[in-house]
Amino acid sequence: MAIDPMVGDLAGETDRLRAAGALTRIELLGVPAWTVTEHNLARQLLTDPRLVKDIGSWKLFTDGVVTREWPLIGMIDVKRSMFTVDGAEHRRLRIKTTQALSRRRLDALRPIVERYVAELLDDLEAAGAAGDPVDLKQVFAYPLPMRVVSELMGVPHTDNEQLLTWYKAFFSLLTPQDERLATIDELTTYYTALVRKKTATPADDLTSALIHENGDGEEPLTEEEVIGNLEALVAAGHETTVNLILATVRALLSNPEQLARIRADEVSWADAVEETLRFDGPVIHLLMRFATEDIVLDQGVIPAGDGVVISYRAIGRDTGVHGADADVYDSSRPTAHRNISFGFGPHICPGATLARLEAAVALPALFARFPNLRAAGDLAALPNMPVLTQNDLSALPVLLT
């Protein structure tokens, strides 16, 4: 089946993928691949060493069928980083990030997140002061994660708007490919300059830590590796959190009895976030892994050289794991914490703890500040951005009083 690049019917597409089976053939903008829609099969394949991130193992790419003109190539053919290698090299590149994302650093970041949330809630209140609808995405959820990840990485806040503009152009399938490729070059130029600045003048931030910390006996990261890690961390670190916050707000406004249970301390905000990750997580489809040999499964055979997509939204609706009512949002669901929305295995998202921290601060503060917060329109009719990989709402209009 063809995956809809305009994300016109996400619920319907998820249903069709689930009905097609645990492992099914799909088409991504004219390029064939396999997708995984079942929780247990995804866990199995995400730890299978025969599925790798190296694009050099993708036959369609090495044969020249897929070129730089394919709109999704910028998410796969990227600089060397922990997101593009496997095995021992992946561990070498990843350990720098996990060490830098220490509990100490995240604990120190929490009051900064709280300050940014308070500032943006002030902006939200000002925007809705006249009683008119206000876009929760544009005023609150969109700027927050970029401010936080910039603080973490040592990116100047004066550059946030430009970075958001670049990433919007990069992810949107409405962006002409020549413009997207130019945007990728602009991002590389920007991060190269930042890394060289931090190399010469380190600070207490994650970028400097990636460059300079080397107390584990491993060889230092190259400049290309630092840039690759930095680019991917900023992209993923803001985009997924925007989507997580908006999806949780939409779920709770659509299910006021669930919000009432949170306010009555019957379930926690953390429970609500985990149920959102399962039910309506920030990632729709994750691109891409490649089979280094034929992989024979009960569900079929993935031939050597083929690409595999993990369809996380379909996986979250797996009735075999989450029950017959998997299409229902229930913050008390006992299996919600079993979601794998941030991945599984060696490549599990290193920023998952940070995303959960931001949601844990932003959501209770939002609903405490605006106890009468409600939707300004039909929540079920809200369109997504034309972004094939992320669950990216175009807007979330709300009334504050």
| Rounded Cα distance, 237 and 240, in Å | 6
Tokens standing for 37?
């829609």
Q: In the prediction, which pLDDT does 390 show? A: 95
Q: For residue 323, is it left (φ>0), alpha (ψ between -120 and 50) or beta?
A: left
Backbone angles phi, psi at 39, to 5 degrees: -55, -55
Look up tokens 């492992």; give the residue: 23
| Rounded Cα distance, 7 and 283, in Å | 13
Question: Could you tell me the pTM of the whole model?
Answer: 0.97
Which stretch of DSSP H or E encloses residue 12?
Answer: helix 10-20
| Rounded Cα distance, 249 and 269, in Å | 11
Print pLDDT tens along the chain (401 aa): 999 988 999 999 999 999 999 999 999 999 999 999 999 999 999 999 999 999 999 999 999 999 999 999 999 999 999 999 999 999 999 987 888 788 888 899 999 999 999 999 999 999 999 999 999 999 999 999 999 999 999 999 999 999 999 999 999 999 999 999 999 999 999 999 999 999 999 999 999 999 986 655 668 899 999 999 999 999 988 999 999 999 999 999 999 999 999 999 999 999 999 999 999 999 999 999 999 999 999 999 999 999 999 999 999 999 999 999 999 999 999 999 999 999 999 999 999 999 999 999 999 999 999 999 999 999 999 999 999 999 999 999 999 99
CB neighbours of 191 closer than 8 A, spacing ≥ 6?
227, 230, 231
Which residue spans within 292-400 are E strands per DSSP?
A: 295-297, 300-302, 307-310, 374-375, 397-399
Q: In the prediction, which pLDDT does 215 show? A: 55
